[in-house]
């Protein structure tokens, strides 16, 4: 893959253990990475260009607590170009570079009064409400991916232990992938709550499917930025998403840094 070759030419000998996708308003975590190199998505063949505020469009190569990682500072969403497989090249690239796991992050709306804005939720399962898959164009029997334990149980248990040690309230829950870009209606949110959904958003699930297709372990975190439609009186907006992501930034940083530190081989 050309993008993999380019990364290797920029950083010879770089062998990341972990890939990280930073969602809306969460790009500041990149500032805590001991950088080896930064690459614009525009320089990487097949990397998608995001047009959403809070997504810088840069690939960060570096270390966190001595662990080599590769981080996407921003992602593309299904609603931007109606291509569910838009994140295929980055995920395949991470696999080729030798990553063993991927950590996915997003900003999400809460359907659970116990998960208020500014909190963080560990995703333990998902429901795909878009009706599409990033594997539509794949061939061969490996496209029939087993999605049981899509979010690795051992990794989740490790993250929960870290949260407990640092006295951080970290609940688990089910994430619903909605295509967007419009926010959900109150009727849609009521339906999702009946089905057991704890948070809803417009990303993460296609990357999860692509990563499991590549046999990468997956862990995912939602930063809760608002209560979903009809659950409170505040008007939903992307500005609100960015504001609440900033509130959760410190908690998010502690969880991610400590988790990555424990992966040191």
Mean pLDDT of 188-205: 96
Angstrom distances, CA of residue 62 to CA of 3, 32, 71, 243: 17, 10, 8, 27
Q: In the CATH hierarchy, which top-level class contains the domain 2-261?
A: alpha beta
pLDDT digits (tens, 9 = 90+) for 44-59: 998 987 655 444 689 9
pLDDT digits (tens, 9 = 90+) for 17-43: 999 999 866 777 888 899 999 999 999
- Prediction pTM value: 0.91
- Per DSSP, 83 falls in state -
E-strand stretches of the chain: 18-22, 34-40, 58-64, 67-73, 101-110, 120-128, 170-177, 199-201, 217-227
User: Of the candidates 109, 110, 26, 33, which has an alpha carbon nearest to the alpha carbon of residue 70?
Assistant: 33
User: Of the candidates 16, 244, 216, 261, which has an alpha carbon nearest to the alpha carbon of residue 121?
Assistant: 244
Listed by start position, the domains of the chain span: 2-261
Strands 101-110 and 217-227: parallel
Q: Which residue has the tokens 């966190």?
A: 64
pLDDT at 265 over 90: no
């Amino acid at each position: 893959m050309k993008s993999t070759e380019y990364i290797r030419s920029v950083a010879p000998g770089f062998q990341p253990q972990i890939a990280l996708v930073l969602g809306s308003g969460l790009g500041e975590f990149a500032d805590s990475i001991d950088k080896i190199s930064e690459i614009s998505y525009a320089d990487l063949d097949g990397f998608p260009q995001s047009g959403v505020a809070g997504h810088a469009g840069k690939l960060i190569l570096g270390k966190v607590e001595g662990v080599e990682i590769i981080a996407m500072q921003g992602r593309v969403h299904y609603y931007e170009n109606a291509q569910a497989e838009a994140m295929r090249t980055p995920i395949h690239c991470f696999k080729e570079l030798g990553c063993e796991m991927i950590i996915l992050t997003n900003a999400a709306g809460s359907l659970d009064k116990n998960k208020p804005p500014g909190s963080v939720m560990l995703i333990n399962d998902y429901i795909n409400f878009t009706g599409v898959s990033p594997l539509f164009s794949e061939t061969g029997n490996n496209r029939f991916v087993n999605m049981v334990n899509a979010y690795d149980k051992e990794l989740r248990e490790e993250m929960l232990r870290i949260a407990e040690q640092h006295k951080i309230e970290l609940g688990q829950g089910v994430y619903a992938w909605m295509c967007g870009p419009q926010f959900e209606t109150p009727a849609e949110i009521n339906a999702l709550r009946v089905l057991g959904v704890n948070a809803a958003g417009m990303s993460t699930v296609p990357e999860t499917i692509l990563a499991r297709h590549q046999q990468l372990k997956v862990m995912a975190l939602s930063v809760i930025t608002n209560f979903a439609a009809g659950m409170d009186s505040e008007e939903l907006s992307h500005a609100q998403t960015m504001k609440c992501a900033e509130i959760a930034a410190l908690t998010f940083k502690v969880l991610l840094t400590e988790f990555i530190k424990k992966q040191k081989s």
